[in-house]
A = this chain, B = another copy of it.
Amino acid sequence: MEHYKRTATCGQLSAADEGATVTLNGWVHRRRDHGGVQFIDLRDRYGLTQIVVDEDAAGEVKETAAELKFEYCIAVVGTVRSRLNPNPNIPTGEIELKAEKIEILSRCEVLPFMIDEKSDAREDLRLKFRYLDLRSFSMQRKIRLRHDVTFAVREFLNGEGFLEIETPTLIKSTPEGARDFIVPSRLHPGKVYALPQSPQLFKQILMVGGCDRYFQIARCYRDEDARGDRQLEFTQIDLEMSYVSKDDVFAVTEGMMAHIFKKTMNIDLPRPFPRLPYFEALDRFGSDKPELRFGMELQDFASFVSGSGFKVFEGVLESGGVIKALVAPGCAEYSRKQINELEETAKTYGAKGLAWMKVSDSGELDGGIAKFFAPRAQEILSSLEAGPGDLILCVADERHTACTSLGAVRLRLGRNLELIPEGTFNFCWIIDFPLFEWNSDEEKWDPAHHMFTMPQAQYLDTLEKNPGDVRADMYDLVCNGFELASGSIRVHDPEIQKRIFQIVGFSEEEAQNRFGFLLDAFRYGPPPHGGIAPGLDRLVMIMAGENSIREVIAFPKNTVGISPMDESPSPAEPDQYRELHLAAVPVQEKE
C-alpha cells in the first residue's frame, strides 16, 4: 500500500529535466480548467510545479484530477515537458508535468483561510489552524531562516571552542522569583521545581566547573502578564566565557552576528560595532536602544535659554533639568493636529509638553515658542543645523524624561518621514551602564541589572561612597532600535559581592536563599568570567523584517498566553491536583 513516493520536490525541476518521468508529492495549491485541460499548481515546502492533465489523458487520471480540491495531498507521476507559456517568476516556471497517474493521499475539508503568501486572516485564526498557516511560503521562509540562524550560531561557536551544554529546566524555585513558573513534584509532595527564567546561575556554575566557553540555545520561561510582544517561553543564545574582559565577549558576539548574517542573508556586517556609553545614547538618541538607521539626533538647547525670557525653560534649567531639541526636516508644514500627535507621544514618556517653532522659508523662527528665540534665530539655526521648512521640537524636563520623550518623538518622526531604510541592520553596543539605580519608593539602591554584575575597576574604591556614580562592566547589544542582548562581566570575588549585597540592602540570609549554590560554588576557586545572551526570537524577527516574535515561532501562544490550537492552558482535573496534594482555591472577586 506504499504510495507513489516522490522522486523530486516541487521546487526542483527545470528545462534540464525535460523528458524525465518523475513523481511529485504535495498539496493542490490552485487548480483550473482551460478548454478541457486541467491545470494544477502542486506545492511543497520547496516550491510550486504546474501539473497538466491533457485532454487525451487516461480517463482515470482525468476523473481523479476533477475530484481535487484545495490542499488535497496528492502524488503525481508524469513526464517533464517545457511550458508553452513559461512563468519567469518561479524557478520551475520553464516546465510542467504531464500527469500520467494521480493518487490522492488525503483529502482536505473547506479551508478556514487560503494558504497564501501572506495571509490576511486574523492572528488567532492563524494560530488555531497553525498547521495550515505553516504551509505558506511566507511562514516556511521564516521557519527556514530560524533554522539557518541557529545552525550558523552553532557552526560559529563550535569553531570558537564553545561547548553546547544543556542546563536543567526543572530547578530550584526562589520565593522572590515572582515570575517563576512552578512545577509541583509528585514524588515530593509540597515541594516544587521552577522553570528557569534563564540559565544564568547554571552558566556561571559551568564556569566554576571549568567548562571555560559555554553556550546553549536555551528555552527560558517567564510567568508574567502578557504585554506587548512577550512569550511565556522564549529562546536565547546563552553564552559564558572564562578569563575574559568585555572586549573578548564583544569580539565573539560580533563574530557570531557577522557569521549569521553572512551565512543566512549574505550580508557583510561592518565591524567592530560602534560603542555608545549609556548616557551618550540617552543624550543623542533619547534611548538606551537607539535606532541608528537614521540620524536626526537630539541636541542640547540649554545655551539659548538664558535671556530668552521663556520662564518654563529657565525654570527647568534652574532646577537641574535639561532642554533637548530635535529638528524635523521639512516638517514646518505640520498641522496643529500633527504636532499634537507628536506631543502625545512625548507625554507617554512623561514629558509635560512638546514645545515647537517652525523655520519659515526666509529662515525666520515662527509660531509656538518662536517669539522667545527669534532674536537668536541665526545662531540657533546654525547650531542645530536647521533650515527653511524645518520644524524644531523641544522638551524641557529632568534629563531622563526629556531625552526619552523626545527620543520617542524622534522615532515616530523617523517612521512618518520614512527615514528608516528597510533591509539594513545597524548594530551598536551600549556600555557604561550605571551599576545601581535609586529606588525612590523604598529610598534605597537597587541593582540596575543583576547582583552579579561587576563594577568597573575605577569605581571599586568608592563603591559605597557614590553608588549612583558607579558604572558597571555591563553591556547591551542593540540592533535597529531593539535590545538584542544583555550581558556583563560577573563578580567572582566574594568580598566585592558582599559589598554589593550590602549596598542594595540584601541580607546574607536572603542572598543564601536565592543564590546559595552559586555563592557556595564561589568558595572553590571561581575563574573570572562574563557572558551575554542574545534573544533568538527577536534576532530572527528583525532579520525576517517582522514586527512580532510570534511570526518566527512555530507554535507561539497568543498575547494572553493561550494556544488557540491545542487550547492550553486547560482546566486542571481534580485528580491531577489530588495526586500533587494540591487543591484549587476559588478566585475571589477582588480581595
Contacts and interface: CB of A to CB of B under 8 A. Distances in A.
Interface stretch (A81-89, A402-410, A558-566): A558-566
B106 A526 contact: yes
A71 B555 contact: no
A395 B354 CA distance: 93
A209 B105 contact: no
Interface string A139-151: 0100110110011
Interface in A195-251: 195, 201-202, 205-206, 208-212, 219, 221, 223, 225-226, 232-233, 235, 242-245, 248
A151 B160 CA distance: 13
Contacts of A201: 566
Contacts of A523: 108-109
Contact of A173 (B105, B528, B576): B576
B154 A555 contact: no
B175 A567 contact: no
B526 A557 contact: no
Interface stretch (A314-322, A336-344, A583-591): A583-591
A548 to B, nearest CB: 16
A581 B154 CA distance: 42
A185 B561 contact: yes
B524 A109 contact: yes
Contacts of A182: 183-184, 572, 576, 580
A171 interface: yes
22 contacts: A1-B460, A5-B244, A72-B525, A106-B493, A130-B205, A131-B205, A131-B209, A134-B209, A134-B211, A135-B209, A166-B219, A166-B235, A166-B553, A169-B233, A170-B232, A170-B233, A170-B557, A182-B576, A184-B184, A185-B561, A190-B572, A583-B584
Given A191-B571, A219-B219, A563-B171, A132 B524 contact: yes
A587 B576 contact: no
Interface size class of chain A, counting residues whose CB lies under 8 Å from the partner chain: 35 or more
B569 A525 contact: no
Interface string A520-563: 01111111100000000000000000000000011101001111
A334 interface: no
A202 to B, nearest CB: 6
Interface string A495-517: 00000000000000000000011
A189 interface: yes
Interface string A154-197: 10001000011111111111010000111111111111111100
Given A109-B524, A173-B576, 13 more contacts: A2-B457, A131-B524, A140-B211, A143-B163, A165-B554, A169-B169, A169-B233, A170-B569, A172-B568, A180-B576, A182-B576, A191-B570, A205-B555
A180 B132 CA distance: 28
Nearest to A460: B1
Contacts of A245: 2, 5
A3 interface: yes
Contact of A583 (B164, B195, B206, B585): B585
A133 to B, nearest CB: 8
Contact of A525 (B108, B235, B568): B108
Q: Identify the 5 closest CB pairs spanning chains A and B, nearest first.
A: A134-B209, A1-B457, A191-B569, A108-B525, A135-B210
A582 interface: yes
Nearest to A493: B106
A324 interface: no
Nearest to A151: B158
A441 interface: no
A171 B566 contact: yes
A321 B557 CA distance: 55
A581 B572 contact: no
Interface in A95-147: 105-109, 111, 129-135, 140, 143-144, 146-147
B567 A172 contact: yes
Given A233-B170, A553-B166, A569 B185 contact: yes
A45 interface: yes
A572 B184 contact: yes
A44 interface: yes
B555 A202 contact: yes
A27 B457 CA distance: 24
